[in-house]
Amino acid sequence: WFIIGSGGAFFFILIQLVLLVDFAHSWNESWIENMHKGNSRGWYTALLAVMTLNYITAFIAVILCFIFYTKPDGCIINKFFISFNVVLCTVASVVSVLRKVQVQEISALIKKD
């Protein structure tokens, strides 16, 4: 049952990730569409504010992970995985706003037409 449960948990998380990315992409597309219809400065500001709020929330989560899951004198593996995750997220964020990525119409953090 452990193997079946682990496989089910993996597919559950995978489906949740796909749904989350789809939600974020459709939300971004609808806000971009509203930005083109009228009051573009307001919609761009709202999109920027939500993005900033999400980055602040992620930064606080990283700090809390370091506080609750590591100790100053040990927990090297935990520190490594938290730091590695932060580096990967930073790289993904930087790549997503590059002009070459946005030209190919791949989902970006802030997509400007």
Please give the pLDDT value at position 53: 95
Q: Give just the sign of the alpha carbon dihedral 25, 28, 34, 37.
A: negative
Please give the pLDDT value at position 106: 47
What predicted TM-score, i.e. pTM, was given to this entire model? 0.70
- Mean pLDDT, 10 residues at a time, the chain of 113 residues: 93 94 85 81 85 94 93 88 95 84 55 53
Which whole-number Å values give the CA distances from 111 to 41, 48, 108, in the listed order? 14, 11, 6
